[in-house]
Structure 1
Amino acid sequence: MIMFKKLLIATALCASFSAMADDSFTLKVKGVENGKFQNKHLLSAEYGFGCAGENISPEIEWKNAPKGTKSFVLTVYDKDAPTGLGWVHWEVVNIPANVSKLPAGIDAKDNNLPKGALQTRTDFGVPGYGGACPPENEKHRYEFTLTALKVEQLPNVTADSTPALVGFFTNANAIAKAQVTVETAR
């Protein structure tokens, strides 16, 4: 009987851990092929970095935001950029808590952006998505990080805010983060 109770408890614990694993805060970048960006997601020629993509933002989905989430921040960061600091390709702040995806094709004029959300300045110097464009013959890792926040809006953040300021207020109000890395070579 004691052995049966131990087995029953062990089974219940395993089921609980399994359920917890299925409920983890996760992020997915849709439209990447074999973990790599499609040409349409790469930086367009007018930026002058040598890429000829279409500069179209990919679709982003997430699930299982933690309890208490009041908004989200999405950051796309190239940790391998040859700057010594990396390169912020996209930041979207104040994404409402009831939103669970960003559609493809959000542009610099905020078309397709969820109501209430705001794109802030990137390392390109302007708000909006700036596609991947690693130097020739190099592979770069682009980290998509979705941060769940305990506030509805980041304080003191406007469309012209720098990535460092956005990062400071994001981390100061973070509950949890979900992350996906997309590697791309040219």
Structure 2
Amino acid sequence: MAFTLTSPAFQNGQPIPDRHARRGDNLSPFLEWNDPPPGTQSYVLVMEDTDAASQASRHWVVYDIGGDRRHLAEGRSSKARTEDLPHGFNDFGNLHYDGPDQHPGDKPHTYRFRLAALGIAKLPIGSEPDALVVWQAARENMLGEAELIGTYG
């Protein structure tokens, strides 16, 4: 089977519910994954807006997720309650999940959740890095990648 990332909150390519939006409850969605590549020791998760005006806007980054883990619970990465996993700074300058956002007149945006399976247990980066630093370090140690696409707006 293939390495997959899914959510009971929305199907791949479908709208992300308002409860997961910045202007809604801003709850990180429940995510689960199956069939990681052999040798996986940890994971990195990044959520990005692929339709952002200048470049992909990263809304969430979690790293050093244990290799035996197969899910992240809903709402475990919010401003009030950040799960005991290291988070990098997103492009809003926060160390937590910031959900999809829509500005007046915007067309719907596409949001990509990317889960990288890594062959190392800990990324060789400092504490509280930004999302780009985390993803670049992950790419150097990646065994495989799974993604889930959602839309908002």
TM-score (norm 1): 0.76
Q: Give the aligned partner of residue 150 of structure 2.
A: 182
Per-residue deviation at 1:118? Answer: 0.9
2:46·2:131 contact (CA, 8 Å) conserved in 1? no
Per-residue deviation at 1:157? Answer: 3.5
Q: Give the aligned partner of residue 87 of structure 1.
A: 57
User: Displaced runs of 4+ in structure 1, greater than 3 A?
Assistant: 108-111
Unpaired runs of at least 5, structure 2? none
TM-score (norm 2): 0.91
1:139·1:184 contact (CA, 8 Å) conserved in 2? yes
Distance, in Å, in 1 between the alignment partners of 2:7 and 2:150 is 8
Q: Give the aligned partner of residue 15 of structure 2.
A: 36
CA-to-aligned-CA distance 1:62-120 (integer Å, 9 cap, x gap)? 000110000000100001012x1120000010000010000001123554x2x5x2111
Indicate which of 107, 110, 116 corresponds to 1:138. 107
Q: Give the aligned partner of residue 73 of structure 1.
A: 44
Per-residue deviation at 1:184? Answer: 1.4
CA-to-aligned-CA distance 1:16-68 (integer Å, 9 cap, x gap)? xxxxxxx110000221278111111010xxxxxxxx31111100000001100
1:81·1:134 contact (CA, 8 Å) conserved in 2? no
Give aligned-pair identity as a percent.
27
Indicate which of 4, 8, 28 corresponds to 1:57. 28
Letter in 2 for 1:76: M
Distance, in Å, in 2 between the alignment partners of 1:109 and 1:37 is 21
Flag the structure with more relative contact order, 1 or 2, with Cα contacts below 8 A and sequence separation at least 6.
Answer: 2
Describe the SS at the equivalent of 2:14: coil
The answer to which structure has the higher helix fraction is 1
CA RMSD of aligned residues (A): 1.6
Distance, in Å, in 1 between the alignment partners of 2:63 and 2:81 is 12
1:102 maps onto 2:72 in alignment = yes
Equivalent residues, number: 150
Taking a change above 3 Å as real, the CA distance of residues 172 and 109 of structure 1, as seen in their structure-2 partners, is farther
